[in-house]
Amino acid sequence: MDDPQDLALTRALEAILFAADAPLTLTDLTRHVGERGDLLPALRALAASYAPRGINLVERGGRWQFQTAPDLGHFLRTARETVKKLSRAGVETLAVIAYHEPVTRPEIEDIRGVAVSGGTIDVLMAAGWVRPAGRRETPGRPLQYATTPEFLAHFNLASRRDLPGLADLKAAGLLDREPPREVPLPLGGREE
Amino acid sequence: MDDPQDLALTRALEAILFAADAPLTLTDLTRHVGERGDLLPALRALAASYAPRGINLVERGGRWQFQTAPDLGHFLRTARETVKKLSRAGVETLAVIAYHEPVTRPEIEDIRGVAVSGGTIDVLMAAGWVRPAGRRETPGRPLQYATTPEFLAHFNLASRRDLPGLADLKAAGLLDREPPREVPLPLGGREE
Amino acid sequence: MSEGADFDAPVRASPPPGTLVLQLGSWEGPLDLLLTLARAQKVDLAQISILALVDQYLDFIREAKALSLELAADYLVMAAWLAYLKSLLLLPKDPEAEPDPAELALKLQFQLQRLEAMREAGQALLARPQLGWDMFRRPNPEGLAEDRRAVYDCSYYDLLSAYGAITARRTRSVHVVRRRAVMALDEAMERLEHLLGRSLDWTELSRFLPGDLRDESYARSVLASSFVAALELTRQGKATLSQGAAFAPILLKARHDG
């Protein structure tokens, strides 16, 4: 790139590849820069000079293009996190799954005394706390649900055995709480 | 760029600016790379390293972007690329807004000595070069106009300070609203 | 402007050489025309002779042909104002004059300079490298993605208290049954049959009831169940019922057929 001739060609190739709306073949490049002999050495030198940068010049199937370095993908996404409060139905369903896993949806409904909407389990799966855990080998082969390692991590539990038992809950006064604001519907009713 | 820490930041900035679909402010960049202190020195060093290349990193109105070097346009223009020609009134109105901003429409008319048709400012706004910039707190509260960062980017200006001849015009008092009082008037002196 | 008749005269076929082409339509207003005339003086605008310029403008308007009236209005107003300015400038200097003609002329000169400066600035802008002609950006950048990820908030306490609430809800229904205790029909029959076995005389039904019924609702339940049990035993042929009159005591005795 010290030769001014080479530098001019390299700069032209750089600009052409940058402004192109698709990867370019050697033929395409020649059409843009005019007949200047073999472009390949110039392209290879250019690719080498970009190799340590955050932008790389790469050849894929005879076509050249600039792209971001493959190890930097995570910088190109930003996660804008919005914190949402889990609904009461969500918390209860999560609790039932945690205490009774693997558990089927009819069982969850039976324990909660309320029909569980598919959306509630979807939210728990989206949160990464619940996963499908195979099918129960009973008539209808219902899908079972269980908690995930992320669930344990989120609640800082080493294992499910760390969940307090009923006696602990009672001792902690958690069984004597006022009835929840959400009046449980008879089974078969719909949640929100 | 020898410090590995700096190199990592520089590479990240490169990749982000390359992939971005619009010029980015320092705030935008910080959101992507995370809080890493002042990004300006890294950006300036990066811009300097690109200066001789066919791709340049430039700051236009506080927004950073990659673009091809201005002297290489002839390699990149295609036959179908036609520049929309701005009318004479359009060019003049754009200049008046750029050099006097924020400026009201009556002021533009006063400077040009002619009524400004609504279409003229519309065209400039549609091009993304001019924007309404609040109201002047004078009777009637007229709307003011100013240029945009895209205007600076389009004409390859880092900031309004780079407007051609701005300093001279200012020194000559030609950007003031009123003529300088102390200038002696060569009244009728050169009549033949 | 007394040459009104000239406005109807035919347009000159070709202007004499060395004169300006007189078409108002080609100027961006009177100030533009004035500036063009001033440029014809070929001097710095700072040195321009305002009087000479006024004369040129007035001559121009006098000569102008093909003047459409709406286009001409602005030019005529300017002509009138310039004629007025000229008269002020030619009068002997009066320090009390208001407005000061020198100041008016200065303002006109300033306007011309400023317009010319803006013209040149516009041309200087157009002469700059332009995006989409000289510089290009990437045509189809990938863009920077922004994942809007919902993070759910649920504390360990929320989880446990929810499970506590569910459990409490389930056990509470048992409490309910206990508090509203009843004597079931089977229990009442078993009890009545047992007691009746030993009593062969007519006995009031109330005497078969337990003696210490402090809970009134339980007592009512015992009475109701025992009455139904008595009816059932009678139906089964194990007892006989008797009542002297409406609301009289119900009497009961065992029946031993065969």
Q: What is the pLDDT of residues B29-55, one digit of tens each?
A: 998 888 887 899 999 999 999 999 999
The full set of domain ranges for chain A reads 4-75, 88-171
What CATH fold (topology level) applies to the domain A88-171? Answer: Arc Repressor Mutant, subunit A (1.10.10)
Number of H helices, E strands in chain B: 9, 5
User: What's the average model confidence in pLDDT over C12-29?
Assistant: 53
C-beta atoms of C151 and A184 within 8 A: no
Interface test with chain A among B39, B76, B78, by most A beta carbons within 10 Å:
B76
Least confident of A176-180, C68-72, C166-170: A176-180
Residues of C with Cβ-Cβ distance to B177 under 8 angstroms: none
Q: Is pLDDT of A65 > 50? A: yes
B128 vs B94: CA distance, rounded Å:
11
Beta-carbon count within 10 A of C202 CB: 12
| Kind plus residue range of the DSSP H or E element containing B93 | helix B88-100
Nearest to B75 among A7, A12, A52 (CB): A12
Q: Residue C121, exposed/middle/buried by CB under 10 A (0-12, 13-18, 19+)?
A: buried
**Which has more confidence, B85 or B49?**
B49
Q: Report yes or no for ipTM above 0.95.
A: no
Q: Using DSSP, state whether A159 is helix, strand or coil.
A: coil
> In CATH, what number does B4-75 get?
1.10.10.10
pLDDT in tens, C84-136: 888 888 888 777 767 788 888 888 889 999 999 999 999 999 999 988 888 88
* pLDDT at residue B97, rounded to an integer: 96
Q: Please give the structure tokens belonging to residue C251.
A: 């009497």
pLDDT tens readout for residues B62-71? 999 999 999 9
Which residues of chain B make contact with C31, given a CB cutoff of 8 A? 112-114
Cross-chain Cβ contact C152/A155 below 8 Å: no
- If you measure CA to CA, which chain B residue comes closest to A74? B32
Q: Which residues from C are below 8 Å from A18, CB to CB?
A: 136, 138
Q: Which of A18, A98, A184 sits opposite C159 (nearest CB)?
A: A98
Rg of chain C's alpha carbons, rounded to an integer? 60
Asked whether the beta carbons of C251 and C202 are under 8 A apart, the reply is yes
Radius of gyration of chain A measured on its C-alpha atoms: 30
CB contact under 8 A, C135 and B163: no
> Residues near C40 by Cβ (< 8 Å), separated by ≥ 6?
C20, C56
C82 vs C55: CA distance, rounded Å:
9
Residues of C in contact with A80 (CB under 8 A): 146-149
Q: Matching CATH topology for A4-75 and A88-171? A: yes
Q: In what order do the strands lie in the sheet with C239-243?
A: C203-204, C250-254, C239-243
Searching chain C, which residue's CA lies closest to the CA of residue B150?
C131
Q: Test A76 with C147 for CB contact under 8 angstroms.
A: no
Q: How far is A67 from chain C (nearest CA, A)?
A: 10
Q: Is the pTM of this model over 0.90?
A: no
CA distance A177 to chain B (A): 44
CA dist B32 and C129 (Å) reads 30
Tell me if A76 sits within 8 A of C145, measured CB to CB. Answer: yes
Closest CB from C149, C156, C165 relative to A180: C165
What element of type H or E holds C230? helix C216-235
Q: Which residue has the tokens 């050249």?
A: A64
Q: In this structure, are residues C126 and B87 in contact, taking their beta carbons and an 8 Å threshold?
A: no
* Nearest of C198, C189, C182 to residue C227 by alpha carbon: C189
Between A11 and A140, the more confident residue is: A11
